[in-house]
Amino acid sequence: MNTNDFSLRHVGISELEATQMLQKIGVKSIDELISGTLPANIRLPHALDLPEAMTEREFAEHIADLASKNEVFTSYIGRGWYDCVTPPVVLRNVLENPVWYTSYTPYQAEISQGRLEALFNFQSVITDLTGLPLSNCSLLDEATAGAEAALLLYNERSKPKAKAKANVLFVDEQVFESTRNVIFTRAIPQGLEVVVGDYRTFEFTEAVFGAIVQFPNAEGEVCDYADFVARATAADAKVAVAADLLSLVLLTPPGEWGADVVFGSAQRFGVPMYFGGPSAGYIACRMEYKRTLPGRIIGMSKDRIGKDAYRLALQTREQHIKREKATSNICTAQALLATMSSFYAVYHGPEGLKHIARRVHSFAGYIAARLKDLGYVVRHSNYFDTLFVELPEGVSVEKVRSIAEECRVNFYYPHTGGVMFSLDETTLPSDLGVLCYIFGEAIGKESNYDGEYSEHSIAVDRKFLRSSQFLTYEVFNKYHTETEMMRYIKRLERKDISLIHSMISLGSCTMKLNAASEVLPLSNPAFCNVHPYAPADQVEGTMEMLENLKELLGIITGLPAVSLQPNSGAAGEYAGLRAIRSYHEANGQGHRNKVLLPASAHGTNPASASQCGYECVVVASDERGNVDWEDFMKKSEEHRDHLAAMMITYPSTHGIFETNIIDLCKRIHDCGAMVYMDGANMNAQVGLTNPGFIGADVCHLNLHKTFAIPHGGGGPGSGPICATRALEPYLPTHSQWQEIGVHDNVVAASPYGSAGVDVVSYAYIRLLGTSGLEKATRTAILSANYMAACLKDTYGIVYTGATGRVGHELILDCRKLRETTGVDESDIAKRLMDYGYHAPTLSFPVHGTLMIEPTESESKQEIDRFLEVMLKIWEEIQEVKEGKVDAEDNVLKNAPHPEYEVVADEWTHSYSRSKAAYPLPYLKDNKFWINVARIDNGFGDRNLIPAFCCCIAPSAE
């Protein structure tokens, strides 16, 4: 074994095992299998031209070299990103712990109770600090949260406003520019008119449905919005507020002064700046908006025995179910980062947070006083942590910048002049001395730092101070020592299944190995402690890595124009469609307003198209799961003059490579439209084919799938888009690069989106190289076909390709089981938990089925164990069918069986405890004990409890 070959560590199947699997499939070689799976006309004629694979040691040295090219200055830039302290107990036990970063989105609640509790805590932090009763469990960032807030206000218009077709949204000029720009991008295709102005002079009309302001605003001023909110309410308009979360520890929360929605970022609650992301965006609102609140809500319910349990509430709002009727483009949250922020709040508690907020504010007040003594003017008298300094005559911005950078300090320099800086949790008394020196030197005076500061002084008008309590619940007042915090995290960790326990077989989600060598850079301060607006000469290492990654992704996809800005797969879809829309508009084809969507397309595609302002035209599938050619030709002809694009997933979500994909693409181009290829299943393309070669114009990539970024329980995500040169001018841009026009596309708060985690994908590509990447793809296809061969005679495979093969995933047919046995796909999913496994993808893309994707990184031993379990469950189903066990009181209907039930003194079931808990021998050596029994979803929806808040009564529905 070549111990330097990383592919042998990543790919789980040995050559001998591959031979055995090929025999089961019925082919002689992997080449024969691949030739019988992929159409010959889409195969790449040459291998990818990528750099030679690195060893793990070589990559460690390479990434250390890149890190050394960054210079980490003290950042006072602010604008939504602030330096902070990630508690080491959270860094080591959560961010660097594969239990937390390899877990899947908690759709299967019974084996996700730990992360559900952590996210429930996050919601409680948000609701308490904002003063509003309902929050979701995170969004992508502050700017996209702002766009979601704008659409929420629109969707919640009163009946008179809707009747009047009110479509005007007011955005105050002191809302962060990054947020305003994303709101523009998202609002315009929805037919909304965005008006930017001064909240103090804005006049509400019948056409105005909502307004957005910032608290404190972009200049750091704490404004009194009471009169503005009253005027909005009188005009039947709703108000959303972008709020700094730490400031709400000290200042009266917007929910208490009339805001309908509050949104922002939880980054400064213990998450590094990461050159702009990832960190958890947040949104909170009134309880009556629960049906239009975007994203995922954690709620509390009961299990079948009556024990309290957490679950995802109101799940049918997810856009992969609502499709083109979805009111949100959000599929990916930032669960891992929200979890970190929730643990930050738990660790510090209300008193710790007050200490941090007061210290930051007091230091700002101290510096403001020193600046005034030196002869500077601080523009605003009410502030939290940010000062706008007006420079006296003779002091230039360039002079201040020069002195500051000599002191390794970064300020923010508004284009209107002056200097701004935001203090943060990391600011020390010695930093105050440096600040006094910089401004003193700039004006030609000695530093007036005297060290006589207070950590408890108040510099803001006391009418703004918070009087209400927050985080009074036990969890936030109990775990303040590292010992207790470590144990609490461990207690939650033990309630969750992740990749450290067993294979996660979800189809379409590619839960592959996130190798330690790939994720180690996430803790490197040289990468994670840099601000996205830091001067370019300070981030040369990060920029070199990102530019390298863009080039590599362009080669892999065959589409050379690459944007890393989209910070989730859904955001990538949206960005790709916006590029297409902008292209058509620029070429006099703005009337093209329809998108063809095969029924086999990825579930997020219709929502993205709808959010982009397109009308969805669904193309049927034939009996083999392919795009129905006759229906495709009919609808492409019917709509050809108004067709903007086709969105297609390849291989499709049915798990097959359609043989006529090139013909489909050519037909779309002949109609004057473009092809958007969903990259969710890129895991089956890399090295063998690619979207550019097939004929796509743009694709997005789920870096958290194919390219090994951890799923993190539902985020971090990264969804860059790759496009042809023709679309390059319309890819996402940012105000840091250029002046933004109304029709420019900005899809994330930071220029490079979730840049902090992109290093994982860079590592993945550099460690595997050309041959390793192709080997991974071939092995993924091998494993899927092996599983299909082993399960086809029991469950049956719903769709196979023209030659009887599946791609990298397979769909098990459970549709007839209910009528013949009373057992359904959900029962199978729950029973798998008793065996220590996460369920496959449930009832998607075909209702009544289970979709499995084994990935390339699982061993044959683990795949065989999973197959043994599936066949054992099949035997249990047959026992029900043959009447050997009770139709209701059986291991399938009662699954999963929690530990507290199995060890109870009383056992009332007609089957034995051992059959419930130890159906196969391996479980006696390695049993994952479940914490709760099957959860009552209906109860949780009828009695929505989304946070620890005694003021919220359960809402019957």
Sequence-ordered list of residues with C-beta below 8 angstroms from that of 304, at least 6 positions apart, any chain: 894, 933, 934, 935, 936
> Three-class SS of residue 825?
helix
**Per-residue model confidence (pLDDT) at position 330:** 55
Does residue 8 register a pLDDT over 70? yes
Q: What does the pLDDT look like over 906-923, one tens digit per residue?
A: 999 999 999 999 999 999
Q: What is the pLDDT of residues 136-180, one digit of tens each?
A: 999 999 999 999 999 999 999 999 999 999 999 999 999 999 999
Model confidence band, residue 742 (pLDDT cutoffs 50, 70, 90)? low
What are the Cα distances from residue 860, in Å, to 21, 22, 512? 8, 12, 14
Q: Is the pLDDT of residue 787 over 70?
A: yes
Helix or strand or coil: residue 621? strand
Q: Count, in order, helices (H) and strands (E) of the chain.
A: 31, 24
Could you give phi then psi for residue 283, rounded to 5 degrees? -150, 140
Question: What values do phi and psi take at 445, rounded to 5?
Answer: -125, 165
pLDDT recorded at residue 743: 66
Q: Confirm whether pTM is higher than 0.85.
A: yes
How confident is the prediction for the chain on average, in pLDDT?
95
What pLDDT is attached to residue 331?
64
Is the CA virtual torsion 795, 841, 932, 863 positive or negative?
A: positive
Helix axes 56-68, 540-557, angle to 10 degrees: 130
pLDDT for the residue 949: 66
Q: What percent of the chain has pLDDT over 90?
A: 91
pLDDT for position 798: 96
Q: Tens digit of pLDDT for each residue in 239-251? A: 999 999 999 999 9
pLDDT tops 60 at residue 504:
yes
Span 59-69, average pLDDT = 98
Find out whether 18 and 31 touch, Cβ atoms under 8 Å: no
Q: Is the pLDDT of residue 21 over 80?
A: yes
Contact 570, 612 (CB under 8 A): no
pLDDT given for residue 323 in this prediction: 66
pLDDT band at 470 (very low <50, low <70, confident <90, very high): very high
